[in-house]
Structure 1
Amino acid sequence: MRSRSMKRVLKVLRDDIESGSPLWKAFQKARIFSDHTISLVRIGEESGKLSQNLKLIAEQDAKERALRSKIRSAMMYPVFVMSITVIIGVAIALFILPRLASVFLQLRIDLPFLTKVLIVAGKFLGDYGHIAFPIIFFVLGVIIYFVFYYSETKFIGQKILFSFPGVKELLQEVELTRFGYLLGTLINAGLPVTTALDSLQKATLFLQYKSLYTHLRDSIDEGNSFQKSFLKYRNSSKLIPVTIQQLLFAGELSGNLSDTLLKISVTYEVKAENTTKNLTIILEPILLVIVWLGVVSVALAVIIPIYSLIGGFNNESSENPEQIITIEEAKIVKNVIEESTSSTSSITEMKSVNKLRILSTGIGYLNVRDKPTIQGEVINKIQTGEIFEYTNDDGGWYKIILYDGKSGWVFKEYVEIIKTQ
Structure 2
Amino acid sequence: MPLTRKAYRAAILHSIADPAEVGIEASYEYFEDGLLVIDNGQISALGHASDLLPTLPADIDITHYQDALITPGLIDTHIHLPQTGMVGAYGEQLLDWLNTYTFPCESQFADKAHAEEVADIFIKELLRNGTTTALVFGSVHPQSVNSFFEAAEKLDLRMIAGKVMMDRNAPDYLTDTAESGYQESKALIERWHGKGRLHYAVTPRFAPTSTPEQLTLAGQLLGEYPDLYMQTHISENLQEVAWVKELFPERKGYLDVYDHYKLLGERSVFAHGVHLCDNECARLAETGSAVAFCPTSNFFLGSGLFNLPMAEKHKLNVGLGTDVGGGTSFSLLQTLNEAYKVMQLQGARLSPFKSLYLATLGGARALRLEDKIGTLQPGTDPDFLVLDYNATPLLSYRLKQANNIAETLFVLMTLGDDRTILQTYAAGNLVHQR
TM-score category of the 2 structures, normalised to the smaller one: under 0.3
Higher Cα Rg, which structure:
1
Q: TM-score, normalised by structure 1?
A: 0.19
Q: TM-score, normalised by structure 2?
A: 0.19
| Between structures 1 and 2, the one with greater helix share | 1
Higher relative contact order (CA 8 A, sep 6+): 2
| Between structures 1 and 2, the one with greater strand share | 2
